[in-house]
Amino acid sequence: MPEPRQQRRAGFTLIELLVAITILGVIAVLGWRGLDSIVRARVALTDDLEQTRGMQLAFAQMQSDCGQLVEASVLGNRASVVSDAGRLIVVRKVYADNQPTRLQVVAYRLKDGALLRNESESTRNLDQIDQFWQAAMADNSGGSTVTLKTGIDAMTVKTWDGAGWNALAQSTQGATPPPMTGLQVTLQLHDQQALLVKAFLLGAT
């Protein structure tokens, strides 16, 4: 009786294996490129969000200081806000529980691409305010200094006088301050053409 013929084993040929490996390689490359694009987009989005968050915090601090701007009647002939290239100086009110209102000189300035905020000690003595003011004008302020934002190339400041936005020229204490109700701050970020502009009311709160 003849022996049964053995069934032929099913399998892949060498060409089929090479084709499958090639297809898997193409899919892997495409998948890696897609994943790399997603990671790059996520990093760029995170950087933009951090940039936006930093600017929001800087503008929020400026708005708070401008909202607490001291009235001209309190300072007499002293200026309460002045600015020149890359610098903004204001005199603001400071409140504390069970304490009388005090005054404080706050200076914003650009240094090596960083926006710095310096605040003097709070006081009720106008002579001390004059000293703090002169120190801020000379960029020799004491007190506390913090970095609000880095990567800034330029800062310009304009004021609203009821008719339009005008450049806020440098002034000194003892000069009669011009009437102003609003402040506009423009920041130029590094390697970006778009300008960031924020307007505040002066003494709004």
Kindly report, residue by residue over 63-78, the tens digit of the pLDDT.
899 888 888 778 877 7
Q: Which token pair is 135?
A: 């120190």
Residue 9 maps to a domain: no
Q: Which token pair is 90?
A: 């204001």
What's the pLDDT score for residue 4?
Answer: 54
Residue 30 maps to a domain: no
Kindly report, residue by residue over 109-162, the tens digit of the pLDDT.
998 889 999 999 999 999 999 999 999 888 876 778 899 888 888 888 888 877
Residue 33 maps to a domain: no
The total of structural domains in the chain comes to 1
pTM for the structure as a whole: 0.71
Domain containing 151 equals 53-201
Q: Which token pair is 92?
A: 């603001």
Residue 44 maps to a domain: no
**CA distance linking residue 68 with residue 92, whole number of Å:** 5
Per the prediction, the chain carries an average pLDDT of 80
Residue 75 maps to a domain: yes
Residue 117 maps to a domain: yes
**CA distance linking residue 64 with residue 196, whole number of Å:** 18
Which residues have CB under 8 Å from 144's CB, separation 6+? 118, 119
Q: Which residues pair with 149 in a beta bridge?
A: 115
**CA distance linking residue 91 with residue 160, whole number of Å:** 18
Q: Does pLDDT of 58 surpass 60?
A: yes
Local structure of 10: helix, strand or coil:
coil
Residue 20 maps to a domain: no
Residue 13 maps to a domain: no
